[in-house]
Structure 1
């Protein structure tokens, strides 16, 4: 039996790796899709009732703050939905 020098075996392994590596990396890259939340639709009557309740309770500062935050979140969802199309 003929012994193959270590340097030749290394070159053979390196060549095999060079041939196989491009085949393994030929897959498509991962693509992520943003999924935007769905907005709840409020009728004009519901919006009017909310406006009346907020106007009737100006001292309810936390309620006003939370509703304001919710308005901001709804705006962000609309932007997300526009960019996703």
Structure 2
């Protein structure tokens, strides 16, 4: 029993010495063509009240901005999971 406990303590001690390098994984953005954007604009400009559609699109724009920032930070070698920056 003492050997098992000793091995367990030793294993936990050695495991605590190393820290994993976490790399953020950013989602990819769906590309929209200029024609897609113009079609959406024309649809939104049609008469009628669309408060939910406008709100949802605003949220989606915010998410796309966050993905772009994540991808930019990842390309620059910045790890969002640590306080240090990688030097290239």
**Structure (1/2) with the larger helix percentage:** 1
Tell me the distance in 1 between the aligned counterparts of 2:18 and 2:62. Answer: 37
How far apart, in 2, do the equivalents of 1:36 and 1:49 lie? 28
Cα distance in structure 2, aligned partners of 1:64 and 1:29: 44
Aligned equivalent of 2:64: 74
TM-score (norm 1): 0.67
Please state if 1:37 is matched with 2:21: no
Question: In the TM superposition, what is the alpha-carbon distance from 1:76 to its structure 2 partner?
Answer: 0.4
Following TM superposition, where does structure 1 have runs of at least 4 consecutive aligned residues deviating by more than 3 angstroms? Answer: 25-28
Structure 1 residues 32 and 57: alpha-carbon distance in aligned structure 2, compared to 1, 3 A threshold: farther
Taking structure 2 as the reference length, the TM-score comes to 0.64
Q: 5 Å matches for 1:4-83?
A: 24=14, 28-83=18-73
| Matched pairs, number | 66
Aligned alpha-carbon RMSD (Å): 2.3
1:26-54 residue CA offsets vs partner (Å, 9 max, x unmatched):
85321111000000000100000001111
CA deviation after TM superposition for structure 1 residue 57, in Å:
4.6
Q: Any gaps of 5 or more consecutive residues in structure 2?
A: 1-9, 76-88
The answer for unaligned runs of 5 or more in structure 1 is 1-19
